[in-house]
Chains A and B, each alone.
Chain A
Amino acid sequence: MTEVNLSNVIKDYGKTRAVHGIDLGIEDGEFVVLVGPSGCGKSTTLRMIAGLEDISGGEIAIGGRVVNDLPPRERNISMVFQNYALYPHMTVRENLGFSLKIAKADQTAITKAVDEAAGILGLRDLMDRKPAELSGGQRQRVAMGRAIVRSPDVFLFDEPLSNLDAKLRTQMRVEIKKLHQKVGNTIVYVTHDQVEAMTLADRIVLMRDGHIVQVGTPLELFNTPVNTFAATFIGSPPMNLIDGVVSGSNTINLAGGLSVPVPSRVRGLVRDGQKVCFGFRADNLMPVGHSVEEEGEKHELELTISLTEPLGTETLLFTDVAGNEVQAKMLNPRPVRPGETMKFQLMLDKCHVFDAASSEAIRG
């Protein structure tokens, strides 16, 4: 059983606080992704779990054992570093086998494990090269391989795919997921790419400025973001947000003269005159006749198209609402000219209302 528990974990670098008291429980075998913008403290958190960074406050436990003062080698973890951290004087083969050699595994076991990892990662042709003779992507794969040749209790990945090209990245994403399904180890994975987070995670931990913003399954984060930051960070394209003011109890007057009804979910939770942010995803704003037929509260709007982005099976439509760019999605697309005015259908019960002052979601 290797659950990882962080309670009130703090990291100070001198006077600046990089991580502000994080509480997080990771279950045995769970795939948790830490995601957030650059500099939000993801790597720092991961490195504290690894034992490479002292903990300024709080407690980290791995498998029920408090590891605050244990060196990395006693934590039975393996880590893929953001900048590879390969051993420059060793060949790929030696790099892969190093941890097993240190653990005094016998030679046949090492050869077997190294060979297996090399197969998974497509490194067989590169085994006798030094890291200096590899491309960035190849190095990253070696770094991955080095982590998977041992079977640690916990895998720690720090942006392991950031230097791969799009195709290889997708491929490796699948490999990582397969690996997890096969060995079932606990994985903590850091990325700033929300697509990676969505596709890989059992649970996503969204971070900002050293705080946890939201923890939940990918769908929870996608469907019920707790604030405007979560709403815009998760999901592609990002959620559309338009400022508005509640008028009466049933209407929101949006900037730019539009108005929409208050979704029934939040009716009674907003007051007259409250400044809000009205949010909805492109999938929930579709031209009439080009949408999915779905039950639910709907509202019709007329919008003028400013730009189109045909993607084949669908087209992204860009419109402009009082200076805010709003994206909509068109299924079974037909050609659309910029400047054309179209009738749209907004799925009201999928819309979000955030308090403008606190940017927190208002939810029933």
Chain B
Amino acid sequence: MTTMSGPNEGTGSRDGAGAPLLAIRDLHATVAGREILKGIDIVVPAGEVHVVMGPNGAGKSTLSYVLAGRDGYEPTQGEVVYQGQDLLAMKTEERARAGIFLAFQSPVEIPGVTGVNFLKTAVNAQRRARGESELDAMQFLKLARRKAKELDVGEEMLRRSVNSGFSGGEKKRYEALQMTLLEPRLMILDETDSGLDFDALKTVAQAVNGMRSPDRSILMITHHQRLLDLIAPDCIHVLIDGRIVSTGDRSLAHELEKSGYAQFAGQAA
């Protein structure tokens, strides 16, 4: 079932249906002077859900940071084309305004910045960039309350400082809340499922599924089959030691669950 050939041939079903939303080609990147990504190829057509799986330390979070534009995660070779634009030339905030959203594996605590202030500033920054009118305090609160309710995020969490003192599960739901408020085009979910109990996982999966549309794509980093049962992926990529060693359809995930990453060990070298 596994195709060992070039990127995304396993999803060839939408042949030529417009340009891909995201095309990563031969991407290399270093962190603290060490090469962590050693040639990544992933093409995500609009509307598809792609999954990146791989052992700890393979470079999955590094890939997500490079896509989001974090300082210190330096691309050294290859290219990333997003909506026809050179993504790597854009600043972090420009990428976000162009519709890229990274749900962090470890969301950052920011004491002193209240949720409402943070979320409103972000939503309005993005609205301004799209030439839309900004939401006033009342309009924003109404929207935030509605979305928070859908995600079981308590209203008092909006008043608290961003992520400060939140439990692991609360942080993940808070990431999902930001995602539904910002309505991105490309969602990068870095282990959004870890640390969630099954009910919370279902809530988050529902939010993600609720946002799926023909012009939105998802790049989902996960270890867990159970999330794949809730959000049906179009394509699975296996990332080992900075390289995509295999790309295939859902059956690849089942295979991984049965026999682990060891079967790919040879290709990683």
Are both chains from one complex? no
A contact residues vs B (CB 8 Å cutoff): none
